[in-house]
């Protein structure tokens, strides 16, 4: 990452109230954090930090696009990413049960590194199935995959021991 410290927010010197931070995410961000799914990307992250005496509330608004491999043809696919997430940071001893949305840090801390949270939130915006629109996949790869398909189940020979089962009529 060009400036690794850009993801560290120093909250101790901030006054109680609302503060905004703008972060730019580029290819080196995903390489530094060893993303297996995302090859590269260009995103803008706006972080709104609401500081209170005993906690911080961080609202992350993410907008941009990432490049991933298509699940069907393994060609590069650019996906738009847009979403928002909330992180609540409480101060104290870790007696609270942490959740996906709430973390507890020591009262002695004066900065928080938001890079791992941004990384996670970007990955949460990815669809489960990442494929090109129909017809946009690499045709050569699709033809090779279709050629690898063997016989369909109907063409396969059926073991004679199971042939009798086909004759059974089930009442539905």
Residue 42 lies in a domain: yes
Kindly report the number of other CB atoms within 10 A of residue 4's CB atom: 12
- State pTM to two decimals: 0.76
Residue 120 lies in a domain: yes
Dihedral (C-alpha) 28, 113, 58, 98: value to the nearest 10 degrees?
120
Strand residues in the chain grouped as ranges (E): 8-10, 17-25, 38-51, 55-69, 76-91, 102-105, 111-113
Range of the domain at 40: 4-148
Measured CA to CA, the distance from residue 70 to residue 73 in angstroms comes to 6
Q: Return the pLDDT at 3.
A: 58
Residue 167 lies in a domain: no
Residue 164 lies in a domain: no
Q: Kindly give the confidence (pLDDT) of every residue in the chain, 172 residues in length, as a single tens digit, with 9 standing for 90 and above.
A: 455 678 899 898 889 999 999 999 988 888 888 888 888 899 999 999 999 988 999 999 999 999 999 988 888 999 999 999 999 999 887 666 778 888 888 888 899 999 999 999 999 999 999 888 877 787 777 777 777 766 555 556 777 787 778 778 777 5
User: What total number of domains does the chain contain?
Assistant: 1
Angle value at C-alpha 22, between 19 and 27, nearest 5 degrees = 150
């Amino acid at each position: 990452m060009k400036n690794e410290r850009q993801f560290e927010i120093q909250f101790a010197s901030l006054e109680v109230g609302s503060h905004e931070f703008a972060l730019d995410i580029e290819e080196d961000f995903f390489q530094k954090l060893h993303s297996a799914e995302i090859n590269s990307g260009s995103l803008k992250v706006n972080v709104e930090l609401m500081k209170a005496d005993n906690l911080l509330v961080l609202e992350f608004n993410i907008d941009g696009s990432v490049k991933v491999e298509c699940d069907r043809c393994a060609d590069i696919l650019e996906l738009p990413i847009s979403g928002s997430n909330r992180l609540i940071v409480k101060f104290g001893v870790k007696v609270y049960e942490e959740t996906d949305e709430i973390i507890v840090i020591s009262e002695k801390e004066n900065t928080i590194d938001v890079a791992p949270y941004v990384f996670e939130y970007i990955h949460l915006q990815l669809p489960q199935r990442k494929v090109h629109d129909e017809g946009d996949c690499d045709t050569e790869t699709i033809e090779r995959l279709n050629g690898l398909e063997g016989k369909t189940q109907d063409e396969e020979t059926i073991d004679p021991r199971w042939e009798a089962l086909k004759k059974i009529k089930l009442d539905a």
